Amino acid sequence: MAQKRNYGEWSKEELIREILALKKQKTYGLVWEREKTKEDFDLFINWEGEKTKEEFSPESKDKFPVLAEVKDKEINSDKEKPVNLLIEGDNYHSLAVLNFTHKNSVDVIYIDPPYNTGNKDFKYNDKFVDKEDGYRHSKWLSFMSKRLALAKNLLKETGVIFISIDDNEVAQLKLLCDDLFGENNFVGITVVQSNPRGSQASLHLAEVHEYVLVYAKLLDKLHMAGFTKSEEASSEYSYTDKNGKKYRLLGLRQRGGEWKREQRPNMFYPFYVNPDTGQVSLTKTKDYKIETLPKRPTGEEGRWTWASKNAQENIHLLVGKKVNRKGEEDFYDIFRINYYEDEEGNESLAKPKTIWIDKELNYQNGRTELKEIFEGKDLFDYPKPVYLVKKLIEMTGNKKAIILDFFAGSGTSGHATLQLNKEDGGNRTFILCTNNEDNDGNGLKICTDICYPRIKTVLKGYVGSDKEKIEGLGGNLKYYKTDFVEAEQTDKNKRKLVDNCTEMLCIKENTFEKVKDAKKFKIFKNDKLHLGIIFDDEYIDEFVKEAEKISGKIHVYVFSHDDSVPTKEFKTIKNKVTLCPIPETILKVYRKVFKND
């Protein structure tokens, strides 16, 4: 029950805290029954938060997560290709680890979270949340907000997140993401026709769609490359310049929203057209003599899509063409040249649209793809089709992207990444996070029995249902499980964290090739640097002797009881070594992640 506010019985100090609490509450935005924090207790707010408190497994209580590699699940099929990661465990703990290993490093996040339909699709604290649960939306929002907040930390400034969702939570998710990512970083919502025949389960309308919400880390730094043009779109480039380059003409006058002169007055100005050549100028001369203004066919004054400064800088891309206007015999409109190829000769791409109706998006295709891999067995409900995730990744235009899916489920995002690499020669990598719960009572575990076998199969190849051999997509995979060490920061527990941090440090530095495996220190490498881990400062001298043989940069993590690292011992390699204390480097991240737990 909520705390009763009989303010007449409160002390002065309690009243002050209550005022501060009330001032903290939102005046606009999404408000729900959140899980209580330590600060909430101090300020007498969110007393109902116990209803939405998320409970984790007992073995993780008051502990910090680490990663333990499952060596017998490692896959090495091509040493020239990068290493992909699969993490088994609750995605909250996986995201906490990734906040150490991948902060500001991920290019693309795609997730397909529970839709919270009330039909046994969203489990919270080991119980399915049904439609009659009065805290149904609050539980889902608490669940999502914790994970999205951690995920945001992982995105690069140029990064983007795609979230699949349906009508049950799309409104709440939009407000939540506006709060977490910033309304100004909202890119758009894509409507995906996932069920062309329409669902007959809905009472009045046959639903054919789902959504993908798109948010940037920083909108002004986001680049969306787009898609290869269709034959129909390519046919629009029907003009050819003197150099043989194809182009089309696009109207410079604003046709859609905010088209009126008074809405953007600085974009209302005249052009002057040379009627003999079609060339345009911003200055009237004897050759450039026909004035044209951005007017609609109705005579209403509009505006151009370019300001005059931009028009002057790109005047070579503008042409004037005579068009039929009632009552105006010599009316010229202004068009801009849009080339089919860029200056390097690459085909320009089409801007993604907000409605996708490709037949490959049918959700049944996802099920068919999975059955093909598992010899006709129907093992997973509603897997996303590879085509959808591949299309989302492709439109970012980044062939070296790190892709994260922390609701990996059947592994579609990993499959899509590998397939897209195969098709366009990309060098993308994926990180998949999923739990290992029983999959819908069929006796199979999601990670070990569905996700991992799927990735392994598409990496190595398989025989399809028609007995045709499907070549493997190639690549490498490391498999990890979340484990835990005590969070209380005693010397003993710090030592345990250091002893269990090797995998996390290798992932952080992307160094997986073992060079030296001594008892008190280890050395790994990649093609750019070496990683050194010293578990006991008594062995620094021995490590330095090994490091002196190494050319190039070395990142060294040294056990330290505090935030300091001894430097004099490293003087012979000081020009190539970067020193970091452990576990403090990890603890700084975890203190922030778990500050309210």
Does residue 490 lie in a domain region?
A: no
Indicate the residue among 445, 480, 515 that finishes a domain. Answer: 480
What per-residue confidence (pLDDT) applies to 149? 97
Whether the predicted pLDDT of 348 surpasses 90: no
Q: CA-CA distance, 249 to 186, in Å (whole number)?
A: 30
For tokens 């990735």, the residue is 455
Q: What is the pLDDT of residue 493?
A: 94
E strands, 94-245, in order: 106-111, 123-124, 127-128, 155-165, 186-193, 209-216, 239-240
Domain termination site, one of 428, 446, 480: 480
3-state class (DSSP) for residue 300 = coil
pLDDT score recorded for residue 5: 61
Q: Tell me the pLDDT tens digit for each residue of 503-548.
A: 999 999 999 999 999 889 999 999 999 999 999 988 999 999 999 9
Q: Can you read off the two tokens belonging to residue 166?
A: 């349906």
The answer on pLDDT for 47 being more than 90 is no
Specify the pLDDT at position 38.
Answer: 54
- Unique residue bearing structure tokens 């091509």: 78
d(Cα 536, Cα 564) in Å, to the nearest integer?
14
Strands 280-281 and 318-322: unpaired
Q: How far apart are CA 408 and CA 448, in angstroms?
A: 12
- 48 plus 100 within the same structural domain: no
Residue at 247: amino acid letter: Y
Q: Examine residue 1 and state whether it is found in any structural domain, yes or no.
A: no
The CATH number of residue 142's host domain is 3.40.50.150
- Judged against a pLDDT cut of 80, whether residue 131 lies above it is answered with yes
Whole-angstrom distance, CA of residue 163 vs CA of residue 525: 35
Q: What is the pLDDT of residue 334?
A: 97
| 439 and 505 together in one domain | no
pLDDT tier, 39 (very low <50, low <70, confident <90, very high otherwise): low
Which residues, at least 6 apart from 318, have a Cβ–Cβ distance to it below 8 Å? 252, 271, 280, 311, 334, 335, 336, 337
Does residue 345 lie in a domain region? Answer: no
User: What's the pLDDT score for residue 77?
Assistant: 83
How many domains are there within the chain? 4
- The pLDDT value recorded for residue 24 is 72
Say whether both 328 and 400 belong to one domain: no
Q: Are residues 223 and 235 in the same domain?
A: no
Could you tell me the CA-to-CA distances from 320 to 101, 204, 283, 473, 592 in Å, in that order?
Answer: 55, 52, 14, 51, 59
CA distance 167 to 355: 16
**pTM as predicted:** 0.85
Q: Residues 223-266: pLDDT tens digits? A: 998 888 878 888 889 999 998 999 999 999 998 888 999 999 99
Instruction: Decide if pLDDT at 489 tops 80.
Output: yes
Minimum mean pLDDT range among 58-62, 83-87, 100-104, 393-397 = 58-62
Cα 512 from Cα 478, distance rounded (Å):
10
Q: For 151-275, where are the E strands, in sequence order?
A: 155-165, 186-193, 209-216, 239-240, 246-251, 271-273
Instruction: Render pLDDT for 141-152 as a digit per residue (tens, 0 to 9).
Output: 999 999 999 999
Averaged over 316-336, what is the pLDDT? 91
Specify the amino acid at residue 38.
K
Mean pLDDT of the chain, nearest integer? 91
Supply φ then ψ for residue 433, to 5 degrees: -125, 130
**Residue (of 282, 284, 291, 278) closest to 309 by Cα position:** 282
Write b or e for each residue in 286-295: b if 16 or more Cβ atoms lie within 10 A of its Cβ, otherwise e. eebebebbbb
Local structure of 418: helix, strand or coil: helix
- Give burial (CB, 10 Å; 0-12/13-18/19+) of 127: exposed
What pLDDT was estimated at residue 96?
Answer: 97
Beta-carbon neighbour count of residue 508 at 10 Å?
22
Which of residues 299, 316, 339 is at a domain's end? Answer: 339
SS3 509: helix
pLDDT at position 30: 81
Parent domain of 465? 62-228+351-480
Q: Could you tell me if 258 and 318 lie in one domain?
A: yes
Q: Are residues 286 and 252 in the same domain?
A: yes
Do 308 and 272 sit in the same domain of this protein?
yes
pLDDT higher than 90, residue 304: yes
Q: Are residues 185 and 313 in the same domain?
A: no
521 vs 455: CA distance, rounded Å: 33
Model confidence at 456: pLDDT above 90: yes
Q: Distance between CA atoms of 215 and 184, rounded to whole angstroms?
A: 9
Does position 45 have pLDDT exceeding 80, yes or no? no
* pLDDT given at position 199: 87
**Predicted local distance difference test score (pLDDT) of residue 49:** 58
Q: Is residue 495 part of a domain?
A: no
Tokens 């209550």, residue located = 18
Are 210 and 116 within one domain? yes
User: CA 214, CA 553: separation in Å to the nearest integer?
Assistant: 38
Domain-embedded: residue 144: yes
pLDDT value of position 43: 47
Give residue-wise pLDDT tens across range 182-221.
Answer: 999 999 999 999 999 998 888 899 999 999 999 999 999 9
524 and 404, same domain (yes or no): no
Q: Is the pLDDT at 322 greater than 90, yes or no?
A: yes
44 or 116: which leads in pLDDT: 116
Do 82 and 199 reside in the same domain of the chain?
A: yes
Alpha carbon separation from 161 to 154, 403, 416, 435 (Å, rounded):
11, 10, 16, 21
CB 280 within 8 A of CB 314: no
- At residue 530, what are phi and psi to the nearest 5 degrees? -110, 150
Residues 400 and 261 in one domain: no
Measure the CA–CA gap between 84 and 68, rounded to whole angstroms.
15
Predicted local confidence at residue 40, as pLDDT: 52
Query: Residue 18: its pLDDT value, please?
Result: 79
Burial 138-174 (b: 16+ CB within 10 A, else e): bbbbbbbbbbbebbbbbbbeebbbbbbbbebbeebbb
Q: Does residue 83 sit within a domain?
A: yes
Res 537: pLDDT: 86
Q: What pLDDT score does 516 carry?
A: 94
Do 340 and 347 form a contact (C-beta atoms < 8 A)?
A: yes
Q: At residue 11, does pLDDT exceed 80?
A: yes
pLDDT greater than 60 at residue 3: no
Once rounded to an integer, what is the mean pLDDT over residues 171-176?
96
Asked if the structure places residue 494 within a domain, the reply is no
| DSSP codes of every residue in 342-370 | -TTSPBPPBPPPSEE--GGG-HHHHHHHH
- pLDDT: is 524 or 7 the higher one? 524
What share of the chain in percent tops pLDDT 70? Answer: 95
DSSP 25-53: S-SSS----PPP-HHHHHHT--GGGGGG-
pLDDT per residue as tens digits for the range 360-392:
999 999 999 999 999 888 889 889 999 999 999
List of residues 6+ apart from 90 with CB closer than 8 A? 56, 57, 60, 435, 482
> By the 8 A CB rule, do 115 and 166 touch?
yes
